[in-house]
Chain A
């Protein structure tokens, strides 16, 4: 989510107007975060629909010949790192709320590392699948999932990283504990962290669903 709350220097705002704009901005981050989940849900739903549609159609008896499965070890590792990132993001936000900024930073950067590992593994798995992409319905949907997952992890990790980078900048410019202050920047920052965390939680849920579909079923 972009940080777009800036008191425009060419708009002469009264204190009440600045307060109104801040409230609107915080609301926009909240709404945007939830709407983003809505968009992501429809994207995942289209993949899940494709999975079940091809599975039930079983055209040419080629839904999943010989019960081929994508590399399970990779799958579990990718899933594990995605869930770890989500847990770290949630934990970090919880600690931030408690005023433990250092904990948030450590959890966040560990989450970024975990997200990058998941991203690397997903790309690696994509290039190492033990079946031809068009050999079956399962193979096709798995490749589709892998590509979507690369995008999902990349966007999620980017969001986490930029939030952390913003936190560092705020400290540099406003001093220690800037994230916890009542300044508009800090409020905007915390709203952004909350939306980012919420989205990572949802990403983990989606990953769980597709872990079951592609690796366990």
Chain B
């Protein structure tokens, strides 16, 4: 595409499609209380729950099996289902689909002014990204509080704060909330906000689907949290049958929560994948796509294709609990192993849904703070795609212990070990970029480097666990628990923090305070390791997961781990304080390009204009030519003055 020298006029802009007669989004954008916003969503969600519950009792209350056991799964399910429907109706997510039935079209309009846009169904990808930031932090802090409760209980093997039932419910809720949160923690906030900016697009492909993904994600949070007032569930986050079948209404919240969040994940992945494939700016060939975008594309593909299986698994579980099918009931022709297969067919790709965006963030950050080109860019990109593909062929390693045909074990051991190869590619790309670099130890870089330390431990123990003999020995214990906390928290969460410190100046216009950031980083890094490394030893000494008591000789290690966990929790308070301090108490305005990055997202104004770029840029090269003499210009911005005035967007700032 060539860039016209002349500027278009208002009269010629936006005439591609005539505006429809009535706009759904203008209804959601009306000022005042007579519009759709979070408040109406809460009211309609509440009314939906009441009506659904009443309807379920009306429909199924007279069935003998319900009258006999006093539990009406139909009412519980319909209550939650209509709550979600009411929530979506209230926020305005269903306006457009309903209008389409009558042939009406919506206009795309600027978001509502001020802060109110964050409480509405908004089609601007930047607003959705910020909504996700708050949403995932809410998930994270809720799950974190439950983790504190777990570690409090484990301070003493004999003096108990909770009874065993409550303890396992807390463990289950913690695991489920954290896993649901972790699937969206990068794709939601950073993926939605940054991908269009990084590919030079003014928009997402399907902004309504994008907004839908966020609001159904929040509905999923409420559904899964409703398990606690329903009496919880004691299966852990994996929800294995036959415990699943024996559980009460809390299990419906779990199953439906996964299905609802699954819809959000599918919607988010679908929209992002389509956007990356089709909305890349002219000149952005696949070899010029930023590595973070590659990681998001791989993740979005996994979200789109693996999550339907989770959705089906949840649907079958709900049918078991409501219309009394027997998918997971061995005695009636079903199979509890069926759940394990379906769950892990999604569940293992999910691990990479969590890991890949983390790799993408650090691979994006490393060149900026080392002032070196990304080492072996193509290897990193192919490693991400390789991990995504292989992740579909490893799920049965989760069944090594639970009854898999022994002949199948070597195959899945092999595929699991195989996946460490492309993962190793990505790791080596990081090491290659760091090699002989003059590193700037800014906060994002510290978090990025911490990921390599943590993920090395998590990854190596993962290779151990893929071997059947080791797996059989340590299965179900704290060793496994420590392994996946090292990969997910030590990998993903540290990468997320790196991403927040790196990109929040762009997203909010404010720099996060460096001193508080340093305290946050060192507390989080040190106490994360002090919390979870002892758990490897605790696991090898035989302490099982999900049990609220343990051998008294392990109390010392458990106490050490618990106290470290409290301090790890405190590091998040420091982070929250940093947000409040840097944005409200002592705000420091961020320069347009504070890290002197070559990334396209930094070449537009801060705050980012509604349409992202004045002119769609024409990409000339990849964004990693740091410290290269005569490096080509990144992009042609069509004659518009580069807005990142402290570093020219068309020259190499190194």
Contacts and interface: CB of A to CB of B under 8 A. Distances in A.
B312 A38 contact: no
B308 A133 contact: no
Contacts of A17: 1, 615-616
B105 A3 contact: yes
Q: Which of B201, B208, B329 has the most A CB atoms < 10 Å from its CB?
A: B329
A7 B13 contact: yes
Interface in A108-158: 132-141, 143-144, 147-148, 158
B17 interface: yes
Interface string A1-39: 011111111111111111111101101100110011011
Nearest to A58: B333
Given A39-B308, A59-B334, A140 B277 contact: no
Tell me what chain A mostly uses at the interface: helix, strand, loop, or mixed. Answer: helix
B74 to A, nearest CB: 12
B110 to A, nearest CB: 5
B324 A133 contact: yes
A77 interface: no
B100 A42 contact: no
Interface in B323-353: 323-327, 329-335, 337-338, 341-342, 345
B16 A42 contact: no
Contact of B325 (A3, A40, A143, A158): A143
B133 interface: no
A181 interface: no
Contact of A50 (B3, B324, B342, B610): B342
Contact of A39 (B304, B334, B337): B304
Contacts of A5: 16-17
A38 B303 CA distance: 11
A6 B14 contact: yes
B308 A46 contact: yes
Contact of B333 (A16, A49, A137): A137
A23 B433 CA distance: 37
B453 interface: no
Contacts of A38: 304-305
Contacts of A32: 205-206, 270, 274
Closest 9 CB pairs of A and B: A62-B333, A165-B103, A137-B333, A7-B14, A7-B16, A134-B326, A11-B611, A46-B312, A27-B278
Q: Which of B9, B103, B266 has the most A CB atoms < 10 Å from its CB?
A: B103
Contacts of B101: 158, 161-162, 165
Interface stretch (B161-169, B313-321, B375-383): B313-321
A32 B1 CA distance: 24
Contacts of A25: 205, 278
Given A28-B279, A134-B329, A185-B18, A14 B615 contact: yes
Interface string A79-123: 000000000000000000000000000000000000000000000
Contacts of A133: 319, 323-326
Interface of A: 2-22, 24-25, 27-28, 31-32, 35-36, 38-40, 42-43, 45-47, 49-50, 53-54, 57-60, 62-64, 132-141, 143-144, 147-148, 158, 161-162, 165-166, 168-169, 173-174, 183-185, 188
Counting contact residues on chain B (CB < 8 A from A), the size range is 35 or more
B278 A31 contact: yes
Contacts, number: 241
B96 interface: yes
Contacts of B288: none
B372 interface: no
B304 A2 contact: no
B292 interface: no
B341 A132 contact: no
A165 B358 CA distance: 44
Q: Which of A4, A47, A144 has the most B CB atoms < 10 Å from its CB?
A: A4
B104 interface: yes
A165 B100 contact: yes
A9 to B, nearest CB: 4
Contacts of B14: 6-11, 13
Contacts of A13: 8, 13-14
A195 to B, nearest CB: 11
A148 B259 CA distance: 13
Contact of A169 (B103, B319, B337, B610): B103
Contact of B332 (A35, A42, A43, A135): A135
B108 A144 contact: no
B8 A14 contact: yes
Interface string B588-625: 00000000000000000000001100111000000000
A31 B274 contact: yes
B329 to A, nearest CB: 7
Nearest to B104: A169
5 contacts: A4-B206, A8-B203, A17-B1, A39-B266, A143-B319
A21 B616 CA distance: 10
A11 B615 CA distance: 9
Interface in B416-466: none
A141 B327 contact: yes
Contacts of B7: 12, 14
Given A10-B611, A134-B332, A139-B325, A166 B312 contact: no
Given A5-B17, A15-B12, A46-B345, 6 more contacts: A8-B203, A14-B7, A16-B2, A24-B201, A47-B312, A158-B101
B255 interface: no
A137 B8 contact: no
Q: Which of A19, A50, A140 has the most B CB atoms < 10 Å from its CB?
A: A140
A36 B205 CA distance: 14
